[in-house]
Homo-oligomer: A and B are copies of this chain.
Amino acid sequence: MEYDKRIIDLEVGDQIEGFYVLKTAQGRVSANGKPFLNAALSDRTGVIEAKCWDYSGPIGTPDEGKVIKIRGTVSEFRGTPQLTIERLRLVEAGDSYDRSGLVPVAPVNIDAEFADVERIVESIEDDDYRAVCREMLLRKGETFRTIPAAKSVHHGFLGGLLMHTSQMLRLADVLADLYADTVNRGLLLAGTLLHDLSKAEEFGFSPLGLVTDYSVKGQLLGHLVMGAAEVAEVARELGVPEAKSVLLQHMILSHHGQPEFGAAVVPQCAEAELLSLIDMVDSRMEIYREAMDETPLGTFSKRIFALEKRIYHHE
């Protein structure tokens, strides 16, 4: 018996036990009239078809996306491995398993990143901008630490939004210094922190926290407009002057840079312009990082949809 063996490593004859994601599940009836479960299990490394014979529940389609614990044996069907499940149950309180083995997670230290975000927020000298940032961090709570920044384009893993935001804040901090005579540091840093926070409401999530789709509200309004609205509300509650609230809203509404990339308005102050460029720097560098991971040295990647080109992984 092997425990939590990675799916990519499974071989015919393996007897395994461990935690996996129930990717799909349908109750079926076999040729001989007996119920069975037709399922697919996944972890970070791959997917395997699975059957549980003589099984009529309780686990089924409504549990798709959840973690289950199983015991079973790997066989082969038409040339591909298949798992015959002997025992299965949903994950329970008290179970201990490594979520990062089941779904992709950000390759950073979440606590350290979050501490860095807090440190930079606390360094904002303008009381109003700092207050809005603090309040928004309180409101978003755990969500900000855990959700991905996208479904798949870049940072599409747990902790992706935090990783993206903290890296952008570090860059914004440097740029506020390099262009100190042109940009207001507090406004730039606050806009950077706030720009994507409404992604928490824009997306729908799987039980394990990955992005599955857009929410209705997210699709109809977009995270830019939702983000500006929430910041406007917080600013009003905190008594922030309207001029500052309008600037913060403008930062969020314009951070996609151009209408064809989703900006509700074009950036019209130096901080908004810079925020849209910082966002572009960090998202593109992450797209390169992720693509280079899958591209051997000295070769070109396959075409990358978000960049509309292939990239070269030089030595």
Contacts and interface: CB of A to CB of B under 8 A. Distances in A.
Q: Which interface class (under 10, 10 to 19, 20 to 34, 35 or more) fits A?
A: 35 or more
Contacts of A311: 268-270, 273
A93 interface: no
Interface in A192-246: 214, 216-217, 219-222, 224-225, 228-229, 232, 242-243, 246
B222 A265 contact: yes
Contacts of A274: 281, 284-285
A140 interface: no
Contacts of A224: 264
B288 A270 contact: yes
A312 B216 contact: yes
A163 to B, nearest CB: 12
B264 A222 contact: yes
A280 interface: yes
Given A225-B264, A315-B243, A178 B182 contact: no
A259 interface: yes
Q: How many copies does the complex hold?
A: 6
Which of A217, A268, A274: most chain B CB closer than 10 A? A268
A170 interface: yes
Given A216-B246, A220-B249, A268-B312, 18 more contacts: A181-B289, A182-B289, A182-B292, A184-B314, A220-B265, A220-B268, A221-B265, A222-B253, A224-B264, A229-B229, A264-B264, A269-B312, A269-B313, A270-B311, A273-B288, A273-B311, A274-B281, A277-B280
17 contacts: A171-B178, A174-B174, A182-B288, A216-B243, A217-B242, A221-B228, A224-B264, A225-B249, A259-B262, A259-B263, A270-B292, A270-B311, A273-B288, A273-B311, A274-B281, A274-B285, A277-B284
Interface of A: 167, 170-171, 174-175, 178-179, 181-184, 214, 216-217, 219-222, 224-225, 228-229, 232, 242-243, 246-247, 249-250, 253, 259-260, 262-266, 268-270, 273-274, 277, 280-281, 284-285, 288-289, 292, 298, 300, 309-315
